[in-house]
Amino acid sequence: MVDVLAKNTSCEDELREWRNTAPVFALGSEEIERIYRCRLDEILYPDAVVEAATCKTVGDIEGLLEKTNLFYAGKRKIYGERRKELIIADAVIKASTRTSSEQAKFLRFSNGYGISEVDEVYRNRWIELANAEAPAKAATCKTVGEAEKLFYDAPNGSEAKMIYEYRCMELF
């Protein structure tokens, strides 16, 4: 019954009033708080989705996250998901502007977000550029040492690594 009363509230103020007048003896304060938080997330969800969708940059969404009280877990979750989307989109743009494997490698290892999808975008670009550069770089190697250095600097699992390995064998 008490849960139904909470469901009938349509705004944050009504819900707060319901929480303050709910019969603690019947449900217990923890259950009232659980019902309150669930319903609050339901009320705020549509607004949070719209607010998050209007953010076009990571800075915009981080501003919303900073302003949002920790109490609004559902809202913060939506903002967090949008932040991740924007970071990944930004990573795709950054990776596509890199023109050498060294630039792409630096970008990958300077990734401070800790998001696996971002790391994957940067790694793929690094491999793509390293593979494109490998034949020309390998051809310029005059010593095994030069080819070995390129081999160790190449991304694991790339064609570039195999090309440099082959060049080492040729020079040996």
pTM over 0.95: no
Whether residue 170 is contained in a domain is answered as: yes
Q: What is the pLDDT of residues 19-63, one digit of tens each?
A: 666 666 656 677 767 777 777 777 777 888 889 999 999 999 999
Contacts of 125 (CB under 8 A, 6+ apart): 95, 96, 98, 104, 107, 108
Asked, for residue 7, whether it belongs to a domain, the answer is no
CB of 2 closer than 8 Å to CB of 34: no
Neighbours of 132 (CB within 10 A): 13
**pLDDT value of residue 91:** 92
Domain that holds residue 156: 100-172
* Residues 141, 150 contacting (CB under 8 angstroms): yes
In a domain, 40, yes or no: no
Q: How many domains does the chain have?
A: 1
Neighbours of 12 (CB within 10 A): 13
CA dist 65 and 117 (Å) reads: 21
Specify if 130 maps to a domain: yes
pLDDT band at 134 (very low <50, low <70, confident <90, very high): very high
Q: What is the pLDDT of residues 63-99, one digit of tens each?
A: 999 988 777 788 889 999 999 999 999 999 999 999 9
Give the number of other Cβ atoms within 10 Å of residue 34's Cβ. 13
- What pLDDT score was predicted for residue 1? 43
Angle at CA of residue 32, ends 41 and 1, nearest 5°: 95
The verdict on residue 146 lying in a domain is yes
Could you give the percent of the chain with pLDDT greater than 70?
85
Is 71 part of any domain? no
Residue 155: DSSP 8-state: P
Is the residue at 94 inside a domain?
Answer: no
Cα 65 to Cα 168: distance, rounded to the nearest angstrom: 52
**Considering the domain boundaries, does residue 13 fall inside one?**
no
Rounded CA gap, 68 and 79, in Å? 9
